[in-house]
Chains A and B, each alone.
Chain A
Amino acid sequence: SQQGEEDPQALSIQEGENATMNCSYKTSINNLQWYRQNSGRGLVHLILIRSNEREKHSGRLRVTLDTSKKSSSLLITASRAADTASYFCATDPGYQKVTFGTGTKLQVIP
């Protein structure tokens, strides 16, 4: 079964607002990554957080990881129309295999 599940499945916000999406996973992981997929395109890597890290920032992105709850969140601050995309978490349980979640579809309305 799928390792990661994102919540919500879809999110619609106004430009300038913050967007938060969550990822829950089932087994212990070594690290967790977030990817973005624009419509009709391949996935693009955003950020990686290791299992011994709790929070990481990259520009307008903030990722948290709570290994006790087996969950991660991705916060996009001051969203822009260009942030409209699907966002996927990807987990690494350590078997040379990265497993992608079900994705959150974000729409940012100008």
Chain B
Amino acid sequence: ETGVTQTPRHLVMGMTNKKSLKCEQHLGHNAMYWYKQSAKKPLELMFVYNFKEQTENNSVPSRFSPECPNSSHLFLHLHTLQPEDSALYLCASSQVFRGKAGNTIYFGEGSWLTVV
């Protein structure tokens, strides 16, 4: 597999459910991201991980819980979500080189989440 892969592609969950989104990057990058994309809104950065360490939490509600066990894998654990959390959740990766941020970012296909 190449690039950034996300599973599942589609998820429907109730407000009391617990589910997880999974992301794996095959690009050898060391920074990974979660973005949220809602209808007719720009991309919203949620979390950033550099070398497995979380470096950014963009005031995301605690019902979203990220996990980054290594530089290639990223999870987003979901619990007690609200209908307004329905959106496309995008994982992305980039390369940090010699302490400087990457100059491009690559996205997965996204996970379409519907909260009912």
The answer to whether A and B belong to the same complex is no
